[in-house]
Chains A and B, each alone.
Chain A
Amino acid sequence: MPKDELKTSFKWIGTRPDRPDGLDKVTGRARYGADFSLPNMLHAAVVRSPHAHARIKKIDASKALALDGVKAVVTRADLPTGLSGEDLNLQDNTLAGDVALYDGHAVAAVAATSALLAKDAAKLIEVEYEVLPHVIDVDDAFRADAPVIRPGLADHSVPKGAPGNVTRYIEFGHGDVAAGFAEADLVREETYKTEATHQGYIEPHACVGQMGADGKGEMWVCTQGQWYVRRMCAAVLGTEASQLRVTPSEIGGGFGGKTTIFMEPLALALSRKAGGRPVKLVMSRSEVLRATGPTASASMDVKIGMKKDGRITAGTVSFRMQGGAFPGMSPIGEALPCAFACYDMPNVHHEAYEVLANRPKAAAYRAPGSPMAAFAVESLVDEMSRELGLDPIDVRLTNGAKEGTKSSYGPKFNQIGLVETLEAAKAHPNYAAPLGPNQGRGVASGFWFNHGGETSVSVAIGEDGTVQVSVGTPDIGGSRASIALMTAETFGIDYDDVRVNVVETGALGVNEPTHGSRATHSNGKAMYEAAGQAIRELCKRAAADWGIDAEAVEWADGAAQPAGPNAGKFPPMSLREIAGKMGSTGGPISGHHEITMGGVGASFGTHVVDVEVDPETGRTTILRYLVVQDAGRAIHPAYVEGQYQGGAAQGIGWALNESYIYGKDGRLQNTVFLDYRIPVASDLPMIDTVIVEVPNPGHPYGVRGVGETGITPPLPAIASAVAAATGVRLRELPMSPPKVLAAIKARG
């Protein structure tokens, strides 16, 4: 709808009430994945490959099965054959087939009467391996002489003569890049590299699964998407989706990593084999790091042409990304369109190769692909701005995408807020704060598409006039609160009179997960339509009571109001009043809406960071951090700020210390939080936020979605700040102290 038709004053939207699930979550009452148990339950453990790449010659579980209390062992032989595409990928990742493809790849699973016994039994399962050559690094995997780890998986997009581990190729662009570069005053080309990082949610994957010989099953699981779990488990096990009921627990973080399955089918397969006894399977932290997540690693060439005034004349990127040993998992399809999305690019060309490596199957991680692409492009824009003596925000303002710009990936942008974020960043006191010796400031912008997707919502009016909303998206960061606020606003009732329930797969139509920054956006729209349906019925009941036409009744301030010629003839009839007698006036009142949500509003943000680098040790300290991002509309501003701050913190970790570290043997070396170094409280300053609101015209309340963009700018912003502080530009992440010190020493 046009901008001026969007409401701009609200009673509930934009306020900061207590979240509905707050009490449960501060008292220890909220039940997460591993907190659930059932009577007669078994516990499972998984046997994992200690090799990066190995043929499985033999699995002997006889010693394990001989233990008292061991009830079932499953291997790949227990799973159906004949799958293809992503279903086969999922099955291959659930349990290795003939070949273990990465360190930590599941090979067998066992269920026993206690968790300790299951672990003991797993140690007794003997697996005979023939070690095969492996490849880990994305550039190594791209070499023509690299061991080809899974021949024959390249799809039709791959150019002839591409290296043997390439499975996918994408290319697109517009304009004439050669002419654009010819027009430029400065052309620079650089290569950037990022290592894989893990989503790092603090809750390890956990589930309880139960399945009988009839293929009917139930699962309780920490997931971002219960319908995805249902569909994927059914595919891997060869059962019917609707026979499996999946209930999501509270979820201890996901960031994209819990939008897919890892070990969930094992719990069901073990249960089926153990006579239908429920099976609990909880990953250890090292299993999480070795065998779930992570994100892709990337090697990226960028070339940009710029006029002396900072105007960009052309840009090209050529990316190589690995997303593990499974085709289709690298985010090349997202990374490329994100690369130049912040800029009005007259001439642009993108290409990317997906490469397989002996690493875990990558999962989505907060704006998948965008942080890497931003690291490459935003770093080079900053390098060139400095070379030309230009303010980095001014250069972005000169080239910034705005309403009507043909985006770097094709479609025209509607109303977007990039320029507004740049202006707010420039005006913020942080951008003018004085800097001391060994300190530097960096700026970068970031982009994410945002996503709508399949959404199904029910709204039911209670007998007392309160409203219950059923949604299918697990609440990771306060979405119950934002949905309740929009519901209260729509009905004109109190926030406390709304209850939002996250429901199991039996209670609604299909829903996509809480992913793509969609939970508040898509549920808001679907709730709005479902509420509209209920409100129409409420008006009808009032009209019948008053003996007037339903069309002559309006809904306002939580009550049916006679309108038009009848205005003022009857006192308003409140929701509570209508609900109280709905049983005798036509029955229960509810509303439903099912939609594949479009109307997404692109998300942009700009970050400003100040760092200090110890010139003798190379250690970087974050002094000040500012996130400015367009929310469209901030429904619950405190949780919007929380998304900004959390995204920035993850980006800071990625920039400075987080990375997957492999030994020469191809085994992951940092499998605990001691060495997989996510930021701790003392590593960070307060993270300042500015919420920009350029309403999304595709949403009844202007919502864009705020979850993902925040992780994108920190990588290049910090690299630019380190460059400003030290005079050396790091083009490879993480910027760990040894790398920074080596660069400082090399500079002399």
Chain B
Amino acid sequence: MRYHTPATFEAAAALAAEASGVTRFLAGGTDVLVQLRAGMVTPDDLIDLKKIDGVKTMARTKDGGWQIGVAVSGAELGANAALVADWPGVVEGMELVGSTQVQGRATLVGNLCNGSPAADSVPGLVAAGATVTVTGPSGSREVPVGEIPAGPGKTALKKGEVISGVTLPPRGKNGGDAYLRFIPRTEMDIAVVGCAVNLRLDGDKIAEARVVLGAVAPTVIVVPEAAKAIIGTTLDDAALEKLAQAASAACKPIDDKRGTVAFRTDVAGVLARRAAKIAYDRAKGAK
């Protein structure tokens, strides 16, 4: 295994493009090292992105959004009060990844590129409308986060492409988001079901909403029917019930060691209801 510490994303992309064997990028390392240790993946080239300038920065964009570096850890996101105030659902998704120790290393981009359908940070990013900058041999482009996952363990990134940043849109007024997941224990598990809700209010009524589910399909899924169920409502019981039904109906889960089809389908609805309430309260100004 060769270990590289390029100084720029262009150089990182070039290294990946020229590599002939298995290539992995190292951001936080919490997935790559596990795979290495387990003998699942032993890269021929490991490209450490942490020496690139700016990978540890979180900055407001001109329009009031956020630009987040690829090596910013979950703990660092959680410590950024302004970011938490804007996008609590995005941050809480990331903060659910692993233990305190893992939080010191794990990153949004790493969680995204690991390609797990159960990645906790991805539903929140998709619900928020976040984008990533993909840098490759022919330059950089912005891609919605939801277009990156391509199935368990797979991403839509092409050979020689690397994600060089994450952009969150401006929060704007009267908005709120939330992420909930179900795990059997209180910590340290992979999500059996995850659900993010991002919404904006017009008065008491929901004007816009996005509902995103994790761990119930080969990739994270956006559920427009679930959003439709609550748009135009004050999140009354009937709307919540419709939301839950729509969320459950959208599930295409599998039976595995972490949960059953029936369980995931049921709990997706439950979490959608609960997450929507939190997002609604946050949009109303609750902490």
Give yes or no for direct A-B contact (beta carbon below 8 Å).
yes
**Which A residues fall within an 8 A CB radius of B?**
119, 123, 284, 286, 616-619, 656-657, 661, 669-670, 672-675, 677, 679-680, 682-683, 736-738, 741-742, 745
Q: A119-B39, A669-B257 are in contact. Are A741 and B185 (CB under 8 A)?
A: no
Select which of B182, B189, B190 is within 8 A of A617 by beta carbon.
B182
Q: A286-B38, A616-B270 are in contact. Are A683 and B186 (CB under 8 A)?
A: yes
Contacts of B190 in A (CB 8 A): 674-675
CB–CB A675/B185 < 8 A: no
CB–CB B186/A680 < 8 A: yes
Contacts of B260 in A (CB 8 A): 738, 742
CB–CB B263/A670 < 8 A: no
Select which of A123, A617, A682 is within 8 A of B270 by beta carbon.
A617
CA distance A661 to B259 in the complex (A): 12
Q: A286-B38, A616-B270, A741-B266 are in contact. Are A682 and B259 (CB under 8 A)?
A: no
Candidate in B189, B259, B263 with the most chain A CB atoms within 10 angstroms: B263
Select which of B188, B259, B270 is within 8 A of A680 by beta carbon.
B188
CA distance A679 to B186 in the complex (A): 9
CA distance A657 to B184 in the complex (A): 7
CA distance A286 to B192 in the complex (A): 22
CB–CB B263/A737 < 8 A: yes
Select which of A617, A657, A670, A673 is within 8 A of B267 by beta carbon.
A617
A650: min CB distance to chain B, Å: 15
**Which B residues fall within an 8 A CB radius of A?**
37-39, 182, 184-190, 192, 256-260, 262-263, 266-267, 270
Contacts of A672 in B (CB 8 A): 38
Contacts of A657 in B (CB 8 A): 184-185
13 residue pairs from A and B, CB less than 8 Å apart: A286-B38, A619-B182, A656-B184, A670-B257, A674-B188, A674-B190, A677-B185, A680-B186, A682-B186, A683-B185, A683-B187, A738-B263, A741-B266
Q: Which residue of B lies closest to A659 (CB)?
A: B257
Interface of A is mostly: loop
CA distance A728 to B182 in the complex (A): 22
CB–CB A737/B187 < 8 A: no
Sample of 6 further A-B pairs with CB below 8 A, known A286-B38, A670-B257, A682-B185: A616-B270, A617-B267, A617-B270, A674-B188, A675-B258, A677-B185
Q: A669-B257, A674-B189 are in contact. Are A123 and B184 (CB under 8 A)?
A: no
Q: A674-B188, A680-B188 are in contact. Are A741 and B38 (CB under 8 A)?
A: no
The 5 closest A-B pairs by CB, nearest first: A738-B263, A682-B186, A661-B257, A616-B270, A669-B257
Q: A123-B39, A661-B257 are in contact. Are A742 and B186 (CB under 8 A)?
A: no
CB–CB A741/B263 < 8 A: yes
CA distance A669 to B258 in the complex (A): 10
CB–CB A619/B187 < 8 A: no
CB–CB B182/A737 < 8 A: yes
Contacts of B187 in A (CB 8 A): 680, 682-683
CA distance A672 to B34 in the complex (A): 11
CB–CB B39/A738 < 8 A: no
CB–CB A736/B184 < 8 A: yes
Contacts of A745 in B (CB 8 A): 266
Q: Which residue of A lies closest to B38 (CB)?
A: A286
Contacts of A683 in B (CB 8 A): 185-187
CB–CB A677/B263 < 8 A: no
CA distance A156 to B262 in the complex (A): 46
B248: min CB distance to chain A, Å: 12
CA distance A188 to B178 in the complex (A): 49
A318: min CB distance to chain B, Å: 30
CB–CB B185/A680 < 8 A: yes
Contacts of A670 in B (CB 8 A): 257
A129: min CB distance to chain B, Å: 19
Q: Which residue of A lies closest to B274 (CB)?
A: A616
B2: min CB distance to chain A, Å: 15
CA distance A679 to B188 in the complex (A): 10
CA distance A616 to B269 in the complex (A): 10
CA distance A680 to B186 in the complex (A): 8
Contacts of A675 in B (CB 8 A): 189-190, 257-258
B97: min CB distance to chain A, Å: 12
Q: Which residue of B lies closest to A616 (CB)?
A: B270
CA distance A670 to B256 in the complex (A): 11
CA distance A404 to B267 in the complex (A): 53
Q: A669-B257, A738-B259 are in contact. Are A677 and B184 (CB under 8 A)?
A: yes
CA distance A243 to B266 in the complex (A): 63
A668: min CB distance to chain B, Å: 10
A720: min CB distance to chain B, Å: 20
Q: A617-B267, A670-B257 are in contact. Are A679 and B185 (CB under 8 A)?
A: yes
A702: min CB distance to chain B, Å: 39
CA distance A738 to B190 in the complex (A): 15
Select which of B38, B184, B258 is within 8 A of A619 by beta carbon.
B184
CA distance A680 to B187 in the complex (A): 7
Q: Which residue of A lies closest to B267 (CB)?
A: A617
CA distance A738 to B188 in the complex (A): 18
A83: min CB distance to chain B, Å: 33
Contacts of A673 in B (CB 8 A): 188
CA distance A674 to B98 in the complex (A): 9
Contacts of A737 in B (CB 8 A): 182, 184, 192, 259, 263
Candidate in A286, A661, A737 with the most chain B CB atoms within 10 angstroms: A737
CA distance A672 to B98 in the complex (A): 14
CA distance A677 to B185 in the complex (A): 8
